[in-house]
Amino acid sequence: MRVIDSHTEGEPTRVILSGGPDLGAGSVAERAARLARAHDAFCNSVTREPRGTEAMVGALLVPPAHPDSVAGVIYFNAVGMLGMCGHAAIGTAITLAHLGRIGPGQHRLETPVGVVTLELHSGHEASVTNVESYRLHKAVTVDVAGLGPVTGDIAWGGNWFFITRDLPCALDITNIRQLTDATLRIRRTLHDQGWTGAGGAWIDHVVLLAPCDGADARNFVLCPSGSYDRSPCGTGTSALLACLAADGQLQPGDPWVQQSIIGSRYHLSHVAGRHGGIIPTIRGRAWVTAEADLHFAPGDPYVAGIPAA
Ligand code: PYC
């Protein structure tokens, strides 16, 4: 299986160029549903140890449904599918540029939740214009064991997020264990109390937000696998901008700088969406880290990855 690895502001992406399953014809959403239904072992083998890591996002390139798109892509992590993925879309842009498949300018990329636009800038920088993002519920309060009441918004940015400013401790890299534990509890409580995204979707990401010197905010983001986002989370910050716009705190075109828990940054802005939400654009940097062939030797007991803890 031929792959190219990259990291976007610290968060890893593995683009699968060949050796993935045949998902047949149809929209990227239909092919993502087939991947989720029938190809667990493939996804796990790419993202889980010993070949992957808990933070790894796989990006399976598929032929686009429309000829004017540069590619279709299905994002997944060590526990399942992602609708969209901001850091991995920037990683995909830099990888496609590395392969000579795109140059400067704008390119359509089909994802299971809609078409996004990639724009390659100079050097290692790219932008992704995301799907329409919106807030579903404002100021939801849940009583979390060991933390007390936690209030936040439930919003969509290509994945589902709970976004709160109620912090268990400082958003500092030395507090990763405590932040992970707190956000896992928040996520479990939301689930136990019946809070979902649209259509009953699992709220699988939690964002903790704090003021920040030199940026508009700093975040810690819990991802579905239980790992944290090393980047400032493109879909999470899209969901945040949707909340700020809904509250009148951010106007179309206003710049927003989002810092991650490791100190890396995205630059964002938005325009109004067609359905009452916003269309965010996320700008960040990515670097190719490896071009490799993954091997799956007969008899390897961990050929489909080590089961998630
Ligand atoms: O950048 O959207 C993102 C993302 C989601 C999960 C990890 N990164």
Mean pLDDT by 10 residues, the chain (309 residues): 98 97 96 96 96 96 96 96 97 97 96 97 94 98 97 98 98 98 98 98 98 97 96 98 98 98 98 98 98 96 89
- Is there a catalytic annotation at residue 85? yes
Distance CA 266, CA 281 (A): 10
Q: How far is CA 38 from the centre of its chain?
A: 22
| Catalytic position from the list 43, 85, 223, 243 | 85
Please work out whether the CB of residue 223 comes within 6 Å of at least one atom of ligand 1: yes
- Residue 206: which domain range? 134-272
Please work out whether the CB of residue 187 comes within 6 Å of at least one atom of ligand 1: no
Query: Do the beta carbons of residue 280 and residue 89 sit within 8 Å?
Result: no
User: Is residue 151 located within the same domain as residue 113?
Assistant: no
Q: Whose CA is nearest to atom 5 of ligand 1?
A: 85
Please work out whether the CB of residue 235 comes within 6 Å of at least one atom of ligand 1: yes
Residue 245 placed within a domain: yes
Residue 105 placed within a domain: yes
Cβ-based neighbour number of residue 17 at 10 Å: 15
Beta bridge partners of 111: 114
Q: For helices 86-98 and 234-246, what crossing angle results, to 10°?
A: 130
- Is there a catalytic annotation at residue 233? yes
Q: Which pLDDT value is given to residue 122?
A: 81
Find the 300 Cα to ligand 1 centroid distance in Å. 31
User: Is residue 228 located within the same domain as residue 104?
Assistant: no
- Tokens standing for 239? 């969901």
Find the 266 Cα to ligand 1 centroid distance in Å. 12
User: Is residue 36 located within the same domain as residue 115?
Assistant: yes
Q: Which pLDDT value is given to residue 123?
A: 78
User: Is residue 141 located within the same domain as residue 268?
Assistant: yes
Residue 225 placed within a domain: yes
User: Is residue 126 located within the same domain as residue 138?
Assistant: no
In 3D space, the residue among 50, 103, 123, 112 whose CA is nearest the CA of residue 80 turns out to be: 112
- Tokens standing for 175? 């507090």
| Catalytic position from the list 43, 223, 233, 243 | 233
Find the 92 Cα to ligand 1 centroid distance in Å. 13
User: Is residue 163 located within the same domain as residue 228?
Assistant: yes
Classify residue 241 as exposed, middle or buried by CB count within 10 Å of its CB (0-12, 13-18, 19+): buried
Find the 104 Cα to ligand 1 centroid distance in Å. 24
Distance CA 3, CA 5 (A): 6
Residue 199 placed within a domain: yes
Longest Cα–Cα distance in the chain: 59
Q: Which pLDDT value is given to residue 177?
A: 97
Please work out whether the CB of residue 245 comes within 6 Å of at least one atom of ligand 1: no
Q: Which pLDDT value is given to residue 47?
A: 97
Please work out whether the CB of residue 233 comes within 6 Å of at least one atom of ligand 1: yes
Distance CA 89, CA 123 (A): 16
Q: Which pLDDT value is given to residue 181?
A: 98
Domain count, the chain: 2
pTM for the structure as a whole: 0.97
